[in-house]
Amino acid sequence: MRLNKKNIIITCSCIFFGIAAFGFKAQQDLPKDTSISFEQGETLTYIAGYSVFEAGQAVVHLDKKLHDVNGKNCYKVDVHGKSIGMFGMGMKIRDLWQSYFDPETILPVQFNRDILEGGYTLEEKIDFDQANGKAKVEWKKKDKPEIHNEEYEMSPGSFDVISGYYLLRTLDYEQYAKGDTINMNTFWENKGYDFDIIYLGVEKCHTKFGRIESYVLSPIMPENQLFSGTHPIKFWVSKDVNRIPLKIQAELIVGAVNVDLVRYKGLKQKLKKTKS
């Protein structure tokens, strides 16, 4: 398999958005750490890279205010993604993803995308009817006037990729044993997906801020010609009150793609590096 600039950038985006941000099914069965809450105003910046080259940047921002959406007070999270460096010259990506979700259940109320990826554009809004298991999707291409309205079945209690990212941060990983499997589900691009993630225990994650003690997770991937190894994708979540994803690593047939936290502000606590 050969990766060019275009599909390297797309792969980096898929890894960050599709793997770092899982949705969960049967939320009531997942152990939650009640001491974990999010600091409104928090901003996290990630850089995705292939080999020695930086390919993309994603900035995740939790708004300081609650927003009234469809009659519910919601957190608002904006994720701005863009291609950078030499890869940005080969394919321009400018994406804005938004999620409005319930502060207590983390269930999404609305999810929006405004996409520019090379010649591909999309404006999309998804309203989640959690009680009735419906997703109402409105979408259009930026260069065309037609607006499409569609409705899809989904499992009640489904998550979008951003709200799933935040729910991931609330789990009580101390309740898991190494090798345990976490079952997950998300609604994405007009359909629901099931995932299994293996809990791999605690490791010290190497970051630009030092070595930080972290929980390690790995999604079980279907057989494909892209990824390599027993646990081809791993991600590290800080073992502290912040519970922030620090790093994602994907082993590809032709090399590794890494997504690393490079800047943060507005955390509940400063990240603490370990002494050894």
pLDDT tens-digit readout, 47-66: 988 777 888 899 999 999 99
Mean pLDDT of 220-248: 78
| Mean pLDDT for the chain overall | 83
pLDDT at 30: 76
Mean pLDDT of 233-259: 85
Beta pairing partners, 137? 126, 150
pLDDT at 191: 76
pLDDT at 22: 44
- pLDDT digits 0-9 by tens, 251-267: 766 667 889 999 999 99
Higher pLDDT, residue 225 or 88: 88
Do you know the residue count of the chain?
Answer: 276
- pLDDT digits 0-9 by tens, 97-154: 999 999 988 999 999 999 998 888 999 999 999 999 899 999 999 888 899 999 999 8
Say whether pLDDT at 27 is over 80.
Answer: no
Say whether pLDDT at 68 is over 70.
Answer: yes
The model's confidence at residue 185, banded by pLDDT at 50, 70 and 90, is low
Q: Long-range CB contacts (< 8 A, 24+ apart) of 226-234?
A: 226/1, 226/11, 226/252, 226/253, 227/251, 227/252, 227/253, 228/252, 228/253, 231/198, 231/200, 233/15, 233/19, 234/200
Residue among 274, 265, 272, 255 nearest 11 (CA): 255
pLDDT at 225: 54
Mean pLDDT of 192-220: 89
Beta pairing partners, 97? 79, 113
